[in-house]
């Protein structure tokens, strides 16, 4: 089976701004692939090229063996796209929006109800309500239902969880796992690093360049440094002191801990603790820990 | 000097039959970093609008910087700063123009404005970008500048509504360095975020569910109270109801 999406040497500029620089990427059939990176990294440009809404300057991309430039009409029939901005008709009802999207693709709600049921049934009690009057979480569910109603083979979700609270985000990812089980390939972008763990594979993107393509597990296991977590009541003080300490490779706040990497690569937790004690830091606890995806991303940002 | 920068007592806002904010009561102290958390639609934005003097409460009591949120709303606007992810700086003005513009709006004297402008661009490393349009700056730089501009008039309190949404993880932490620095200098910080690691950086946080404050305390205290490992788990436990 060919990869669902193949991207080769892709470039896109907006005037002097290089939005995408030499992107090479393959998305496998029926996987959840997460494109992880901050605003302005190029995620949306890549989505818009793959959904045939934007022409690349150079390079080539195919979606299910169809060329994004030449075969754009065919591609549009077999993909579902949920853009980052809410893009449904605010003055149509929930049901009218879904019917409209079904009709455009020559199908009906009834025909594909089994696929959207898990999601749509949650907003069905409000089906007469205008889309503009829905809460954020409900809008998101309606948008996903509309992107799915023609049973697409690939789903493109551009930052579906941005600005969404942790509870709704968790529910949304449960829905995505469920869609994967229906055999749909999913390309999803997000600025939240913790969502990376929910993807089969991830690509880290920054400044129009892909920094790494990997499974979340492998990305973490390839982290090049020994990472130490420091806990203290005086976190802010320790952070400032370590920033200016001589052997600091990196030091960052990380929730209720500080994550520290020393530039002496083979230093052990015991050795490090002893050295830090000599700096007369406020009381602290220290242990070596496994990196998160966010640690890996920050290390890659530092290297680039 | 007033030590309680925000007070709210049974503060309520109704829109028709819908109670968006339901009798919330709490205080925020000077220099505190206060995290105002909750699910989408829980009532956070409505509450913030009342504290900023933008929305007239239905009932209850409240004050900001010692000023009444019912009767002294115009005075409040001069004593607060505000910044959000959605609205911060004017994209088609330059860095220097944005600084000058905001400083002017807040009534700074001309010579203070020039001094502040140079101080700010120097501190943020934007010296070479003074005459560049905001739209040409990376989001992270913009947000750091937007924050600095929001406190250019040394307000008693600054409201930050999801200030770090979409910002890369390193810049997000630099942003929090600025927040900490401002708090140390006595500016009270009132911040909303969906990043639960950032909830840990707050001195105290409140958790809003369906218009009510369901929990309030230090992050470590809340984790103990709810017997969980992380703020994310506190959130999931509470917001699920």
Nearest by CB to residue A256, choosing from B168, B176, B219, is B219
Pair B10, B61: CB distance under 8 Å: yes
Residue B41 near chain A (CB below 8 Å): yes
pLDDT-based confidence at residue A167 (cuts at 50, 70, 90)? confident
Closest-CA distance, A187 to chain B, in angstroms, reads 18
Closest-CA distance, A88 to chain B, in angstroms, reads 19
Q: pLDDT by residue (tens digit) across B56-110?
A: 999 999 999 999 999 999 999 999 999 987 767 999 999 999 999 999 999 999 9
Look at residue B87 in the predicted model and tell me its pLDDT.
Answer: 67
Domain assignment of residue B160, yes or no: yes
- The predicted complex's ipTM stands at 0.84
Average pLDDT, chain A: 93
Residue B210 near chain A (CB below 8 Å): no
Show the tokens assigned to A247: 């052997």
- Among chain B residues, the shortest Cα distance to A43 is held by B166
Q: With contacts defined as CB-CB under 8 Å, which chain A residues touch B85?
A: 163
Q: With 70 as the cut, is the pLDDT of residue B9 above it? A: yes
Residue A304 near chain B (CB below 8 Å): no
Rounded Cα distance between B239 and B184, Å, is 32
Report, as an integer, the average pLDDT of A103-125: 93
Domain assignment of residue B13, yes or no: yes
Angle between helices A166-181 and A136-148 (to 10 degrees): 10
Domain assignment of residue B115, yes or no: no
Which of B38, B169, B198 would you mutate first to test chain A, the one with the most A CBs within 10 A?
Answer: B169
A73-77, B10-14, B116-120, range with the lowest pLDDT: B116-120
Domain with CATH 3.40.50.300 in chain A: 5-220
Domain assignment of residue B110, yes or no: no
- Among chain A residues, the shortest Cα distance to B170 is held by A298
Q: How many CA atoms lie within 13 A of B138 on its CB side?
A: 19
Pair A79, A156: CB distance under 8 Å: yes
Q: pLDDT by residue (tens digit) across B208-232?
A: 999 999 999 999 999 999 999 999 9
Give φ, ψ of B190 to 5 degrees. -120, 110
Q: How many domains does chain B have?
A: 1
The DSSP-derived string for A12-54 is: EEETTEEEEEEEEEEE-TT-EEEEE--TTSSHHHHHHHHTTSS
Across the interface, do A39 and B162 touch by the CB < 8 Å criterion? no
Domain span holding position B156:
4-85+137-239
Give φ, ψ of A244 to 5 degrees. -100, 5
Say what percent of chain A tops pLDDT 70. 100
Closest-CA distance, A151 to chain B, in angstroms, reads 29
Across the interface, do A38 and B167 touch by the CB < 8 Å criterion? yes
Residue B168 near chain A (CB below 8 Å): yes
Show the tokens assigned to B171: 């810049």
Domain with CATH 3.30.70 in chain A: 223-303
Residue A113 near chain B (CB below 8 Å): no
Q: pLDDT by residue (tens digit) across A179-216?
A: 999 999 999 999 888 899 999 999 999 999 999 999 99
Q: Going along chain B, which residue ranges are E strands?
A: 4-15, 18-29, 33-38, 59-64, 67-68, 80-84, 157-161, 188-192, 204-209, 212-217
User: Furthest-apart CA pair in chain B: how many Å?
Assistant: 54
Q: With 90 as the cut, is the pLDDT of residue B166 above it? A: no
Nearest by CB to residue B139, choosing from A39, A167, A302, is A39
Q: Strands B80-84 and B157-161, how do they pair?
A: parallel
Report, as an integer, the average pLDDT of B180-194: 94
Nearest by CB to residue B168, choosing from A164, A206, A256, is A206
Across the interface, do A254 and B197 touch by the CB < 8 Å criterion? yes
Look at residue B95 in the predicted model and tell me its pLDDT.
Answer: 95
Number of separate helices (H) and strands (E) present in chain A: 10, 14
Buried/exposed B16-39: b ≥16 CB within 10 Å, e otherwise: eeebbbbebebbbebbbbbbbbbb
Domain assignment of residue B91, yes or no: no
Pair A289, A252: CB distance under 8 Å: no
Domain A5-220: CATH superfamily, name plus number? P-loop containing nucleotide triphosphate hydrolases (3.40.50.300)
Average pLDDT, chain B: 93
Beta-carbon contacts of residue A73 (< 8 Å; ≥ 6 apart): none
Rounded Cα distance between B102 and B78, Å, is 12
Domain assignment of residue B124, yes or no: no
Look at residue B167 in the predicted model and tell me its pLDDT.
Answer: 85
Give, in degrees to the nearest 5, the angle at Cα B77 between B202 and B39.
40
Domain assignment of residue B201, yes or no: yes
Rounded Cα distance between B205 and B223, Å, is 11
CATH number for A223-303: choose from 3.30.70, 3.40.1440, 3.40.50, 2.70.98.
Answer: 3.30.70
Residue B201 near chain A (CB below 8 Å): yes
Which residue has tokens 């879904």? A98
- Among chain A residues, the shortest Cα distance to B229 is held by A256
Pair A3, A18: CB distance under 8 Å: no
Closest-CA distance, A277 to chain B, in angstroms, reads 24
Q: Strands B59-64 and B4-15, how do they pair?
A: antiparallel
CATH code, domain with B152: 3.40.50.300
Q: Whole-model pTM?
A: 0.88
Residue B235 near chain A (CB below 8 Å): yes
Across the interface, do B169 and A301 touch by the CB < 8 Å criterion? yes
Q: Which B positions 132-151 lie with beta carbon below 8 A of chain A?
A: 138-140
Report, as an integer, the average pLDDT of B144-163: 94
Domain assignment of residue B181, yes or no: yes
Residue A252 near chain B (CB below 8 Å): yes
pLDDT-based confidence at residue B241 (cuts at 50, 70, 90)? low
Cβ-Cβ contacts under 8 Å between A and B: the total is 85
Show the tokens assigned to B41: 């639609």
Rounded Cα distance between B177 and B33, Å, is 12
């Amino acid at each position: 089976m060919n990869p669902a999406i193949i991207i080769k040497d892709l470039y896109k500029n907006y005037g002097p701004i290089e939005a995408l620089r030499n992107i090479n990427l393959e998305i496998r059939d029926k996987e959840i692939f997460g494109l992880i990176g901050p605003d302005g990294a190029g995620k949306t440009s890549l989505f818009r090229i793959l959904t045939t809404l934007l022409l690349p300057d150079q390079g080539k991309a195919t979606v299910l063996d169809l060329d994004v430039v030449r075969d754009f009409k065919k591609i549009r029939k077999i993909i579902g796209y949920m853009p980052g901005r809410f893009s449904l008709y605010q003055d149509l009802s929930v049901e009218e929006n879904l019917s409209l999207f079904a009709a455009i693709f020559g199908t009906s709600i009834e025909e594909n109800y089994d696929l959207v049921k898990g999601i749509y049934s949650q907003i069905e009690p409000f089906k007469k309500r205008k889309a503009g009057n829905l809460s954020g979480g409900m809008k998101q569910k309606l948008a996903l239902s509309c992107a799915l109603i023609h049973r697409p083979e690939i789903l493109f979700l551009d930052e579906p969880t941005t600005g969404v609270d942790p509870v709704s985000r968790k529910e949304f990812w449960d829905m995505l796992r469920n869609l994967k089980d229906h055999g749909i390939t999913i390309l999803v972008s997000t600025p939240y690093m913790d969502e990376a763990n929910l993807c089969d594979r991830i690509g880290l993107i920054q400044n129009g360049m892909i920094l790494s393509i990997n499974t979340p597990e492998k990305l973490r296991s390839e982290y090049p440094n020994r990472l130490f977590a420091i806990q203290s009541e005086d976190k802010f003080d320790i952070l400032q002191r370590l920033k200016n300490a001589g052997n600091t490779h990196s030091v960052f706040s990380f929730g209720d801990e500080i994550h520290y990497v020393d530039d002496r690569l083979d230093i052990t937790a015991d050795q490090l603790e002893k050295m830090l004690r000599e700096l007369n830091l406020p009381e602290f606890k220290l242990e070596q820990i496994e990196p998160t995806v966010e640690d890996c991303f920050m290390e890659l940002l530092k290297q680039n | 000097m007033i030590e309680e920068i925000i007070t709210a007592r049974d503060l309520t806002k109704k829109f028709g039959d819908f109670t968006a904010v339901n009798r919330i009561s709490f205080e925020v102290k000077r220099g505190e970093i206060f995290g105002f958390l909750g699910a989408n639609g829980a009532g956070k934005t409505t509450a913030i609008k009342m504290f900023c003097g933008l929305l007239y409460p239905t009932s209850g009591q409240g004050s900001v910087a010692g000023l009444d949120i019912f009767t002294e709303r115009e005075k409040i606007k001069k004593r607060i700063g505000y910044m959000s992810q959605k609205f911060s700086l004017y994209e088609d003005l330059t860095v220097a123009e944005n600084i000058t513009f905001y400083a002017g709006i807040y009534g700074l004297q001309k010579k203070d404005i020039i001094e502040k402008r140079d101080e700010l661009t120097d501190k943020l490393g934007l010296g070479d970008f003074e005459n560049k349009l905001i739209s040409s700056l990376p989001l992270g730089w913009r947000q750091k500048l937007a924050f600095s501009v929001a406190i250019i008039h040394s307000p008693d309190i600054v409201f930050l509504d999801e200030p770090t949404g979409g910002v890369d993880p390193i810049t997000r932490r630099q942003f929090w360095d600025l927040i900490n620095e401002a708090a140390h200098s006595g500016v009270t910080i009132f911040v909303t975020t969906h990043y639960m690691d950032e909830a840990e950086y707050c001195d105290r946080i409140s958790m809003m569910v369906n218009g009510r404050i369901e929990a309030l305390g230090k992050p470590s205290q809340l984790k103990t109270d709810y017997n969980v490992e992380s703020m994310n788990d506190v959130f999931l436990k509470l917001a699920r109801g």
